[in-house]
Every structure is written in C-alpha cells, then in structure tokens.
Structure 1
C-alpha cells in the first residue's frame, strides 16, 4: 500500500497571521477537520457519564476525539517554537485556535493602522526632479512591497499605472506613448521600468556638454541691450543670495530670444510654458538697484528652439514671471565646466 503524501503545512509568521489562518482553514478543511476546530465538541463530565452514553453516542465521541487530535496536531505543526509555547497547554484544537486569535489580534490592529499610512504614502508619492527612473521605481517598489506584507492586495497593473501618472512632466509624451501602445496587463513592472530608462537615456543625450554648446551657438541672440541693473536675490528655499545682472527694458522680448550675460549667476526666464519640468516650491525674490522687487516662482528644466527647429534642454533655470528678458548665465556655464570665448 502506497504511503499518502501530506500537503506542506504552512508555518505561522507574526507578520502574516491573516494569510496563515486562511491557508490553515483550507488545509484543515481538506482533512475534514475544520468543523471540529470551529465548533469543538462536548466531553462527558466524567468517566461514569461516558460509560452511561448510548453506543451510538460513544462511537460519535470517539470519532470527534480522533478528528480533534488530528486538527490539534496540524495546528502544532504549523507554528514556530515561540508560538507553540502559547498553545502547548491546549487540550483541544478549538482552544488552541482561540489562543492564537487572541494572541495575534493586537498584531493585526497594528498592521491595519500601518497599512492605512502606507496607502496614503502610495497615493501621494511622486517622482522628484532630482531622481532618475531607477531610483524612483525602487522607492515605489519598497512602498508596495511593504503594503503587500501588511495584507494589501495590490496587482502589478495598479502599481504600473501609479508609476506612469506620478512621473515628472518631462516624461509626459513618453507616458502618452506607452499608454497608447502597450497593454499593461501583458508586461511586467521590470519591462516598464526598462522602457522608461531607455527613454530617459535618450533625453539625457541632449543635455551633455557638446549638445548644449551647439545649442548656445545656434541660439538666436540680438545685440545685448546696454541698460542693465545689478540685482540681489533674497534667500528662500534653494534660491541662494546672489548678484544678478538682468534687463528691465520696456519692450516685450521674443520668446525664443536669449541674452548671454556675464554678470548674472543663474539662468532665468519668464515663460513658464518653456519648462519641461519645474519645482514650484522653490521661491524667493530679485531686488533691483532701484529697490524694486520681482518674485521667483520656481526652478526647472526648459527647452529652447534652434534655428533648424531642433529642441535642446537647459537645467536649473529660475522662473521669474515679471522678467522682461530670457537670460543665459555665462557664469553658471563656467561653473559647470564650459569654455566661453567672447
């Protein structure tokens, strides 16, 4: 007669009692023993009472005891050593199960509170301008894995949808392309991250030294206006105290005109629509020599259009809505290692 192969008995871990209890119910049910754990059975008051039972009830009592011992043994096998100490005094399976429920009730409450916090973090998390795709994807995976550990049912499609809708603005056209061309249910998270990283690398190619130098060479710039004023930026968040050389002419500058300035310490523009991405939490103000002040409303990456229609990118540009001219800081370029010949 062949030996019966018993299913693997799940081991109880304090971090997933809920999952363990579900698996144990299924396992005990497969042995036809869950009813004895859930409802228990009544033992006779003493030996004399047992002897007095009708034969049919004696047979039923014997069968209940047998089922109960099997169920109790299965529960014992499914816990670690420290947990076994809590239920080793139990004489019946129902008693052992109730001890476990009470013991881990507090743990489950803590997990529910933690899960609520993680759900809020999952909904609010967004990619920062300083992060790359790999770093942000790792952070998002960390949060989602912890949610799953605390009992959240979170499928990969939902995680990928969250990833796509929380990227920075420079990925907008990439996200649109992916949403139109890919069925997220047919790809993995790693496939999606790999695709985004490939797009990111192509975008970064346009931000290297050679491309940017070419961009400045081709960028249209009329003769620099002579009237200028030094201005100091009041420090707030990332806007440090610095001297700016900027222009306060009355005429409206064209959007694609950029002045190359050897006096200003930062790139600046008034055109918000030029920004691919912008951190609007960065603020401050610029004070001119005549004591007038204009506010800084953010900092980010902008696009410029060359004579041939090609677009290039410039990082660390301040958004100053009241500015009359677009300014390229030669000093900032020198700090980044560019060579400038006037």
Structure 2
C-alpha cells in the first residue's frame, strides 16, 4: 500500500516534469531527446502507460522556432499515431545538421569575402579606404592626414 502511494507520487512528479519540459534555442536535439526519453522511460518503468504518439506530439510542441518548419511538415505529412519518437528525432537532427552546415558555409564565405576585400584595398593603395576604416576624418567628412 505504501509502495503504491510512493509509486503514484513519483509518477505524478514525472508527469509534471514531462509536461513542463521545453527545449531552449541553445539546446541540441540529441541532448533534449535524451532528457525527454529518460522521463518517459522512467514513467513506463513505474508501470504507467504513456503512448508514443503523445510523446511525439509533446516533442513537436516544445521545440524552438528553428525547428518549426520541419515540425509542421512532420505533422502535416506524417501519421502522428504511428510515427516513432526516434524517427521524428532523426528527422529533426538531420534538419539541425543541415542548418548548421549551411551556417558554417555562409560564415566561411563571409570571411573569405572580407579577406578578399582587404587584399584588394591594400593592393590598390587606396588611402581613402584606409582612412575610413581607421576613422580619420575632419568635420566635413574629408580625410586629413
């Protein structure tokens, strides 16, 4: 009897944790998946039923804005009653990796562009560009120096 009450209390605490958990913008999908599945596994170990579809729906509700587009696609074109949590997380992780690669590629292009610009301005001996970069201007906007 006491064991049943303790088990019931643990389940209530875990269900409250499950309902309140959210994914922050800075969280990685893998880390959040481990956290969420840990809660669900513990609830199931205590003998409580937790439908996979409810866990999937919860995940898609609490992900940050960077996943909204892919989450909408999963909801619209996936069977929310039969899709597994692992499948949804796999799709979200693939999206996360694609976005990360695109950001890295864009930042590398920006760095190369800035390097090229500096090389070109130094080759041309353009002193006005140098003055603008260094902030050497008089009140009328003309360089002095």
TM-score normalised by structure 2 residue count: 0.72
Larger RCO: Structure 1 or Structure 2 (Cα < 8 Å, ≥ 6 residues apart)?
A: 2
Structure richer in strand, relative to its length: 1
Give structure 1 regions of 4+ aligned residues with deviation exceeding 3 angstroms: 215-218
Alignment correspondent of 2:90: 194
Which stretches in structure 1 are left out of the alignment for 5+ residues?
A: 1-104, 227-342
Q: Is the 8 A contact 2:25 2:66 kept in 1?
A: no
Between the aligned partners of 2:43 and 2:7, the Cα distance in structure 1 is: 10
Q: CA deviation at 1:108?
A: 0.5
Alignment correspondent of 1:156: 52
Distance 1:183 1:215, change over 3 A: farther
Which stretches in structure 2 are left out of the alignment for 5+ residues?
A: 115-131, 136-145
Write out aligned runs for 1:168-183 (5 A): 168-183=64-79
Between the aligned partners of 1:143 and 1:189, the Cα distance in structure 2 is: 13
1:214 aligns with 2:109: yes
Alignment correspondent of 1:133: 29
Q: Which of 132, 144, 162 is matched with 2:40 structurally?
A: 144
Alignment correspondent of 1:302: none
Compute the RMSD of aligned alpha carbons.
2.0
After superposition, what is the alpha-carbon deviation per residue over 1:260-302, rounded to whole angstroms, capped at 9, x for unaligned?
A: xxxxxxxxxxxxxxxxxxxxxxxxxxxxxxxxxxxxxxxxxxx
Structure richer in helix, relative to its length: 2
After superposition, what is the alpha-carbon deviation per residue over 1:195-246, rounded to whole angstroms, capped at 9, x for unaligned?
A: 11111111111221x421324649xxxx88x6xxxxxxxxxxxxxxxxxxxx
SS state of the match for residue 112, structure 1? helix
Aligned residues: 116
Alignment correspondent of 1:54: none
Between the aligned partners of 1:191 and 1:144, the Cα distance in structure 2 is: 16
SS state of the match for residue 207, structure 1? helix
Greater gyration radius? 1
After superposition, what is the alpha-carbon deviation per residue over 1:110-132, rounded to whole angstroms, capped at 9, x for unaligned?
A: 11111111111001101133321
TM-score normalised by structure 1 residue count: 0.32
Q: Is the 8 A contact 2:56 2:88 kept in 1?
A: yes
